[in-house]
Each structure stands twice: as structure tokens, then as C-alpha cells.
Amino acid sequence: MRIRTSMLAFGLLASALAGCSTTSGTSEVARVETTKIFTDSYGPVTDAGYALPAIPISRLDKKFHRQIVDYATEEKPGTIVVNTRERFLYYILPNGKAVRYGIGVGKQGFSWSGEAYIAWKQAWPTWHPPKEMAERKPDVARYVEGGMGPGLSNPLGARAMYLFNEKGQDTLFRLHGTPEWASIGTAASSGCIRLMNQDVIDLYSRVRPGRSAKVVVVQ
């Protein structure tokens, strides 16, 4: 199945939302069956000097735990498919497999679908809220210029991957970590596609930025 997209949607929504978001499209899933689950991978982690706490993973629906699943798709290995309706991100592996991660997505009205690529990625990123967000949330306005430095409370978490469109323009949307593990499986963020920090570290290690690092966002 071929997923057709309109990059115009990126332009319109990036200017309207100016920040991060998800949704809409056609399901890629033909058959999904778990072949391995990583429930034991959410313990405390020390990373670049930051002590990430353990996630009480037993309190999160098991379907949102990182796992390797059977996944039928025409997308090449290395492609990321984000299904915002199901709240899953798939990193495509060879031989009909994928690593599946639970995600949180943007609230209704902060959504997009289409194709992009990961132009670059950053560990422990600085967060710069867009001006439009600062207008809605004056308490973050001080971070627009200087940004919020990396740390355990930074909204981008331990890793961020930056999505650009086919013209090489920043879509202003990100795949990133979050300290708010309970938001996984919900539409609770004000935009970006968020993963648990332990999961985003794993995904980050697999991604090689460039135009071949394709991201498809569907519903």
C-alpha cells in the first residue's frame, strides 16, 4: 500500500500550530503479533550524567510497552510509521518485523499527517517553545529566546528528532522523549509525538538522520 501525502498540510499546520503535533491518514497495519516484549527495559538509567527514574511500567497498558511485532508494510527498513489513532510508532525492521513503541500525541486541533524525514537529532536537547505557544501559555514565554536547558523536566526529554519536509524545511514537529510517562497512549500533549524516555533513547540509537530516515504519519 502506498501512502500519498500532501506537504501543503505541513505548511498550513506548521504555521497555524507552530510547534508539534499529529494525526490523520490510512492504517498501514495488516497483521500485528508480538514476538518479543521489553517490559524489563524501563528501570532507572544514568545517561550523560542525568539520572532517569524508573518508569512504573506495570501501570501502563502492556500494549504500549516496547515490543517487536510482525508488521506487514511496503515501507523500507529504517522507515518510521506513526499511527496516531492507535498511539503507536513503528520502526521498520527487515523481514516483516518492526519495533513498536507506545506514544502520546497532540490534542485534537494540534494534528497533522504526511511524510517527512529526520534531518537531525539531538541528545538532551534545549527546548524553544514557539511564539504561538507562548501566547497561549505565558509561563513558557521566557524560554522562547534562550530556551529551556536540558534536564529531567525538559518537555523534549532525553532525545529529540527533528522532522523536515521534502523541500528541506523544518516542519516544527518532533519525535521526542517525555518525563510524563502517564501521557503515553493519550492525546494529551500540546503537539509533538512523545515517547517514554527509555524508549526514545532506544529509537534514537536506531535512527540515522538524512533523507532516507523517512517518517510517515498516518491515522
Task: Provide the annotated active-site residues.
Answer: 176, 192
Residue 160: partners with Cβ closer than 8 Å, 6 or more residues away: 121, 122, 125, 174, 175, 176, 177
- Contact predicate 184/87, CB 8 Å: yes
CA nearest neighbour of 88 among 106, 72, 66: 66
- Contact predicate 175/215, CB 8 Å: yes
- Contact predicate 184/13, CB 8 Å: no
Residue 205: partners with Cβ closer than 8 Å, 6 or more residues away: none
**Rounded to 10 degrees, what is the CA torsion of 107, 151, 195, 44?**
-140
Query: Whose grid coordinates read 485534537?
Result: 108
Q: Cα 22 from chain centroid?
A: 9
CA dist 178 and 169 (Å) reads: 25
DSSP character at residue 126: P
